[in-house]
Copies of this chain bind each other. A is one copy, B any other.
Amino acid sequence: MEKIFNIVKNNDLFEGVIFKDFEKLYPCLSPIRKKFKKSEIILNAGDKANYVYIILSGSVKIVKSDIDGKDNVLTELSVSDIFGEVFACANILHSHVTVVSLQESEVLFLNYKKIITSCQSACSYHSKLISNMLKLVAKKNIMLHQKIELISKRTTRERLLLYFDIHRRNQKKFTIPHSRENLAAYLCVDRSAMSNEFSKMQKEGIIKYDKNQFEIL
């Protein structure tokens, strides 16, 4: 129990929940622990969306299939990350995405209804969970908005400049925490075209960079 707490306490859902409370709370959530092998499917598109999932060990990828059947990796998640909460909260009956284990992983299944329905004992930590969930979903909302703002830009350069502006936090020098490939995927542009744009911007004296260290000039 304490082991689980030490993992899930890192998730915003349990922000401000102390172990003493967690002990009482945890059994209320009808928790189930399951292990998955590499490439095993944790949640399939079309499955019922009754659970909120938290990764206890390992990592997973969230995949969405195209109309034409092409798979599309939306994100990769690892220990203490949560998924499935948006479908559950939106009362969507079935998942739109598939979740696949990237390695040997253990996942905690929590009953969504039990999370958002105050228990009879009307415990205060329970209402804390609910407001945490609300905050968590709203924050995701803002991140999605940010991404939309980014990819609304028509050119690679505009997207990069906005990305820089968001992530440099008023610093001239900053580090980008993505590989080129992942950054390109996030910005929805071709990787090589993006690399090319980086070079151009350096030649034009707009930026300077070395590996993932960037500087605005």
Residue numbers of A with Cβ under 8 A of B are 64, 67, 72, 85-92, 96, 116, 118, 122, 127, 130-131, 133-135, 137-142, 144-145, 147-149, 151-152, 154, 161-162, 165, 188
Question: 9 A–B contact pairs at CB < 8 A?
Answer: A86-B142, A92-B142, A118-B127, A122-B122, A130-B131, A137-B137, A141-B141, A144-B148, A151-B151
Q: Return the chain B residue nearest A130 by Cβ.
A: B130
Chain A, interface SS category: helix
**Beta-carbon contact of B149 and A151 below 8 Å:** no
Q: Return the chain B residue nearest A142 by Cβ.
A: B90
**Beta-carbon contact of A141 and B137 below 8 Å:** yes
* Chain B residues in 8 Å Cβ range of A140: 141
Q: How far is the CA of A95 from the CA of B141 in the complex (A)?
A: 14
Given A130-B134, A135-B91, A137-B138, also A149-B64 (CB < 8 A): yes
A212 to chain B, nearest CB (A): 22
**Beta-carbon contact of B188 and A138 below 8 Å:** no
**Beta-carbon contact of A141 and B144 below 8 Å:** yes
Q: How far is the CA of A140 from the CA of B138 in the complex (A)?
A: 9
Q: How far is the CA of A64 from the CA of B72 in the complex (A)?
A: 30
